[in-house]
Amino acid sequence: MNRYKRHIILSEIGQAGQDQLLRAKVLVIGAGGLGCPILQYLAAAGIGTIGIVDFDVVEISNLQRQVLFGTSSLGENKAIAAKQRLKDLNEAISIIAYPEKLKHKNAIDLFRQYDIIVDGTDNFETRYLINDACILAKKPLVFGAIYKFEGQVSVFNYNNGPSYRCLFPNAPKQGSVPNCSEIGVLGVLPGIIGSMQANEVLKIILGIGKVLTGKLLCYNALTLQNTVLQIKRNDAVIESVLNDASSFNEKFSDFNCELEDLKISIKDNIIEENIQFIDVRESYEQPKVNGINVSLIPLSSLENNLDKISDSKKKVLFCQSGIRSLHAVKLLHKHNIYNCFSINEGAIDIIEHIKELQNISSNER
């Protein structure tokens, strides 16, 4: 394998180590400043399965540091845009995009499908959610965070080591610590910190070197000062997360807000390539939607037909009024099928909208 030759000739890695990388499954949360370099190096290194969680879209102000994206990705979902770039970098690996918010509801099931979780997010609420879900799903967490010219890196929940809560037991008051968008960040800083995180991921998989567990590395880009602080595991803190497992799903969850994230409108430019439209009405229900490719999978038999749901495409579900399709999306989530949305409008509105689009395109001709 020529691609990985520079790895394989290292005696510390060799073919056996490269095979370990190819078997590994790593989930990266956040495809922003930290996520981009993390993803880039993990994909290049040949991590066999990489998951990317990000609900956000690429904006022009991201390009100063989010090196996977270019002007052609503006407006695209970050998880999907990152996947496209990484596919070009390494087509031999499997990359799964989750273009949605990480929630207490889906986190643990999602984490169980991966070996290592990497935190590249930009807010405390998600960071604590990731930490707690890693404790509950028993997964190591490669942590990185930045502030202006400084960064923090650590590996939590690894080999009985401490967790993020052993360092900072509770999230600071909301708004008390600004993030990059409010206060600015040196563009190369997430490149440095994210690369350190990717390095820790590789060390964990390969079992080489000393993993940064029980320690917090503090890096200052202006002084180039590296400070390593020792962190002890706090059993009481971890116990309380474990004891709280049953309430984890309900924690912080704003049910209505979550439902809103699953709904889209037919007017949101959703008719494009790479979407699987699914009609979840019963086979006798009329009118049928023509003019776009539609899979007919009634809600009543959805769970028996999960193999008909595309792995790679975005799934857009509809019914007569938007109620059953929303129900179906939630059902798919239960089966760990994400990247699916419910159209607010019913079949009649969808048919109307397709007609309008066809009229526009025929007028253009």
Partner 1 sequence: MNITIRYFGQIAEVTCQEEESLEFSGTLISELLNALYSKYGLLKAKDFQVAQNQELVSIETKLTGHEIALLPPFAGG
In whole angstroms, how close is the CB of 353 to partner 1 at the nearest point?
A: 38
Assess contact for 127 and 119: CB atoms under 8 A.
yes
Q: Does 122 bind partner 1 (CB under 8 A)?
A: yes
Residue 161 phi/psi, 5° resolution? -80, 180
> In this structure, which amino acid lies at residue 92?
A
Q: Does 150 bind partner 1 (CB under 8 A)?
A: yes
Q: Please, which residue, 128 or 341, has the CB nearer to partner 1?
A: 128
Quick one: which segment of 5-13, 212-220, 260-268, 302-310 binds partner 1 (CB under 8 A)?
Answer: 212-220
Q: Does 190 bind partner 1 (CB under 8 A)?
A: yes
In whole angstroms, how close is the CB of 262 to partner 1 at the nearest point?
A: 25
In whole angstroms, how close is the CB of 166 to partner 1 at the nearest point?
A: 8
Binding to partner 1 by CB under 8 A, coded x per residue (else -) over 11-50, reads -------------------x-xxxx---------------
Q: Does 119 bind partner 1 (CB under 8 A)?
A: yes
Q: Does 228 bind partner 1 (CB under 8 A)?
A: yes
Q: Please, which residue, 121 or 320, has the CB nearer to partner 1?
A: 121
Quick one: which segment of 84-92, 168-176, 256-264, 284-292 binds partner 1 (CB under 8 A)?
Answer: 168-176
Please identify which residue in 231, 280, 297, 319 interacts with partner 1, judged by CB under 8 A.
231
Q: Does 124 bind partner 1 (CB under 8 A)?
A: yes
Q: Does 177 bind partner 1 (CB under 8 A)?
A: yes
Closest CA to 44 of 208, 194, 198, 153: 198
Q: How far apart are CA 44 and CA 265, in angstroms?
A: 37
Which residues lie near partner 1 (CB under 8 A)? Answer: 30, 32-35, 119-124, 127, 144-148, 150-152, 167-168, 172-173, 176-180, 185, 190, 216, 218, 220, 223, 227-232
